[in-house]
Structure 1
């Protein structure tokens, strides 16, 4: 599971970076992608603390 989560984090990070470069960091979709990345990172943090 952790491996899948790490992959999802990298994919989301790449998606967010590409979108941010194209549309700007304050674009609504860039912010949404950032929030989704934060959720994934929080899940990873919870797994690492367990």
Structure 2
């Protein structure tokens, strides 16, 4: 599995976790929801950096 495939799988897993937390907490400002969102953002940024490098 390539690095890009691994990150895409991680992104999908994190999205599912975030959606579950939102449904469970019903509050977008819950600390667990915010933390999950920040982790997803970080991985998405990593994905974008890899995508930029592969375009060169």
State TM-score, norm by structure 2. 0.85
* Partner of residue 21, structure 2: 19
- Which of the residues 35, 38, 45 maps onto 1:35? 38
State TM-score, norm by structure 1. 0.95
RMSD: 0.6
Number of paired residues? 50
CA distance in 1, matches of 2:19, 2:6: 20
Gap regions ≥5 residues in structure 2: none
Structure of greater Rg: 2
Gap regions ≥5 residues in structure 1: none
